[in-house]
Structure 1
């Protein structure tokens, strides 16, 4: 046997093994470097996309500023808002608590609408009248009420309408009793409704808006006899806005000249409405050169707070405004509150101009939405619902733009499907309860679009921009 074979690999063999090991290590390092570069590239692309997503978004046109004007009405307290968006257009001492009397019935209406919406009651339900809600023996000139008696039952819809058309106190009290839990006081339930609407600091004693001592069986024993429901005009505007949002048919109630109700199935009763009195006694004496149409909503006054009215007005162009005036002349006066209402609406129109986005309109610079989930990578959109925003008169209404829509990943898309909400390029103030969904512009698609394949989704996500 060769001696060298017992001494392990030769020098030449060792060098060959070392070369192979070195080459293997170089290949491994090369793979690691390539993988590292690939990961670095992906990181840079991701970082770039993140930066692209987070960069400041410029509106399609310049941003407009529209702060509420200061109203110069003779009324002590006032506010005007857009009835759809909740934009505050004008105000005067709008956050001062004041007695609201029968305007309370707007909160009672909210309680009813809330219960209907949740399926707790139905419009056709019959509400029982008991000895507490039977006000038939009270002076109707002092305490507005229907001709209904204990033992009878009236439909929810009829009592609800009576609150707005005839300001019937018995209707409001009966509804509140019907809606609230049996083990809960009316006052506590009212306060819960107010808390839900963020009416911070407001005070509530009964559902009709009566001074505590005049609520009779609903008097709150641990409160002062002269205690009364109080809220700010901003909160009253919020109540009106919320009720109209939940029940657009409220616009129809104010136009009724008579209220028909049925204490029993075979008996018809007719009550005079507030609009009937308004049409006969107020309208002929009203200075209303711009011909505002009164569509509602609720009067209310106390000796301390004076005349008051929460109104829904429509101008000649069809724009709707919610107005509230309080301390508008003597509480017994039937004309001044309406005149001050017209005056504050006129003042707003003198200083602002409407910028309206119309249903079906394509917005320049925001006519498409990047949609990685569809084959084309984009979805064409138009305005779903007409909305108006108000800007100072010195500004050009055509300059009001919107912020471009965010990217989406939604498929398939159907024609008329809501796709995204756009934000108007407007610095302004809104009532506290209006949300971005109320203030924004809903956009719907204009065509059907099929779902993209996975590789198309990746391509759209990386490279398609609007």
Structure 2
């Protein structure tokens, strides 16, 4: 038999093998193409998500402009801000440095609250009184102080309360010495705290607010005897706002009719408070037809700057406003600083109108937040806490729009969980220390949401925004 006659079966086998390899190769190419198309689709979805997130968020209504009004008070310097957001509502020469006297104690209070927050001290710590902070031999009418003596130790809480209720100078000096860094002077510590709050250009010498020569053992030797602590009324408003934010209980101090303190564990002493004098001698003489309520905060005046008062006032609707007036009448006058405070608040209320978002409210046009991490692709939200913004009267809008939050990626979500922060559609001015979280509307979820599968996360934006 010819050897070539055996080639037929072998050729068929090779051909079959080639055909199988071709078919397998085709199937592999098909899988690669399908996989490539899938990856391309995912890439396109990701690209779409990226560009969607880059789009600017549009407000639910047109933006309202609400710049601070110019106050026409007789006080030389004044400012009014919202006590929650820090929105500046009215001002007059608010960036002029002025002597602040005992309003300094608000910075000393910040130093204390800062140390409490950092767990460096506790409210029940006993602060030692030494010969430098013992002012018991000084004229109480000229230098407000407690009846405490060297060798005694007073609780932080008692001294802190004495600064606000009785403007006690010894309390402020003793607290500043207790909380300041050991390697810093009292003046350096005050300046450090002021720098932290961005009180640019302000000047500090002692924690009580005394003219340098009248600080006695705390006189700064390389400064002029008549040097005094100085800040702008806006900076005083910042101090009040910061203290109230860190310690909301300050609202309770001003209404105390008597200050009880304990120089020794078995001795109780009572000092008259500023509010008891205010209630008896000043409040009945004020022109206050709208019954604005004084909730605090701190007096202070110098011969050069005149009467001054940093106030926390509440109107009939419950809106809280921080006010500062300086150059309000004579140095020794008591009535005018309070009357000018009432007047500046009334001026703001006459020219502006409140727009309030109440807790639990679903904001019109922004009731949900796109959430790619949950199965439904969105989370229903409502306002967490009541917050007010102030618009000019005649703005044509009683309702204020918001900038809804951009898409979030958060799961699972529980009912009542804080989920987003909406910015008001408002062009206005806030104090420098006010953050976006202070200015914005915190939003909470109003339902439970479960976590989405990975493929749902990729396509949720299509479902939510189709």
Please name the residue that 1:449 is paired with. Answer: 449
How far apart, in 2, do the equivalents of 1:300 and 1:404 lie? 43
Matches within 5 A, 1:64-463: 64-463=64-463
Residues 218-262 of structure 1 show CA distances to partners (whole Å, capped at 9, x for unaligned) of 000011101000000010000000000000000000001111111
How far apart, in 1, do the equivalents of 2:465 and 2:157 lie? 52
How far residue 450 of structure 1 moved from its aligned partner, in angstroms, is: 2.0
Which runs of 5 or more structure 1 residues have no equivalent in the other structure?
Answer: 5-18
Residues 331-354 of structure 1 show CA distances to partners (whole Å, capped at 9, x for unaligned) of 100011001100100000011000
8 Å CA contact 2:81–2:321 kept in 1: the answer is yes
How far apart, in 1, do the equivalents of 2:260 and 2:24 lie? 97
How far residue 23 of structure 1 moved from its aligned partner, in angstroms, is: 11
How far apart, in 2, do the equivalents of 1:32 and 1:337 lie? 82
How far residue 41 of structure 1 moved from its aligned partner, in angstroms, is: 5.1
8 Å CA contact 1:62–1:399 kept in 2: the answer is no
| TM-score, normalised via structure 2 length | 0.92
How far residue 375 of structure 1 moved from its aligned partner, in angstroms, is: 2.0
8 Å CA contact 1:415–1:448 kept in 2: the answer is yes
- DSSP 3-state at the match of 1:195: helix
How far residue 398 of structure 1 moved from its aligned partner, in angstroms, is: 3.0
How far apart, in 2, do the equivalents of 1:34 and 1:418 lie? 42
Distance 1:397 1:259, change over 3 A: farther
How far residue 35 of structure 1 moved from its aligned partner, in angstroms, is: 7.2
Please name the residue that 1:464 is paired with. Answer: 464
How far residue 445 of structure 1 moved from its aligned partner, in angstroms, is: 1.3
Residues 109-134 of structure 1 show CA distances to partners (whole Å, capped at 9, x for unaligned) of 00000001110000001111100000
How far apart, in 1, do the equivalents of 2:442 and 2:46 lie? 30
Distance 1:244 1:361, change over 3 A: same
| TM-score, normalised via structure 1 length | 0.92
Distance 1:24 1:451, change over 3 A: closer
- DSSP 3-state at the match of 2:332: coil
How far apart, in 2, do the equivalents of 1:25 and 1:371 lie? 43
Task: Answer with 179-188 or 79-88: which moved more.
Answer: 179-188
How far residue 50 of structure 1 moved from its aligned partner, in angstroms, is: 2.8
- DSSP 3-state at the match of 1:464: helix
How far apart, in 1, do the equivalents of 2:250 and 2:191 lie? 23
8 Å CA contact 1:83–1:321 kept in 2: the answer is yes
How far apart, in 2, do the equivalents of 1:44 and 1:184 lie? 60
How far apart, in 2, do the equivalents of 1:27 and 1:264 lie? 92
8 Å CA contact 2:309–2:338 kept in 1: the answer is yes
Task: Answer with 368-377 or 199-208: which moved more.
Answer: 368-377
Please name the residue that 1:15 is paired with. Answer: none
Distance 1:34 1:423, change over 3 A: same
- DSSP 3-state at the match of 2:217: helix
- DSSP 3-state at the match of 1:423: strand
How far apart, in 2, do the equivalents of 1:206 and 1:131 lie? 16
How far residue 182 of structure 1 moved from its aligned partner, in angstroms, is: 2.1
Please name the residue that 2:14 is paired with. Answer: none
How far apart, in 1, do the equivalents of 2:275 and 2:397 lie? 35
Distance 1:36 1:378, change over 3 A: closer
- DSSP 3-state at the match of 1:262: strand
How far residue 106 of structure 1 moved from its aligned partner, in angstroms, is: 0.1
8 Å CA contact 1:418–1:445 kept in 2: the answer is yes
8 Å CA contact 1:354–1:397 kept in 2: the answer is no
- DSSP 3-state at the match of 2:264: coil
Distance 1:447 1:457, change over 3 A: same
How far apart, in 2, do the equivalents of 1:132 and 1:174 lie? 9
Distance 1:20 1:252, change over 3 A: closer
8 Å CA contact 1:423–1:440 kept in 2: the answer is yes
Residues 284-332 of structure 1 show CA distances to partners (whole Å, capped at 9, x for unaligned) of 1111111100000000000011110000000000000000001111110
8 Å CA contact 1:355–1:397 kept in 2: the answer is no
How far residue 376 of structure 1 moved from its aligned partner, in angstroms, is: 1.8
8 Å CA contact 1:82–1:89 kept in 2: the answer is yes
How far residue 140 of structure 1 moved from its aligned partner, in angstroms, is: 0.4
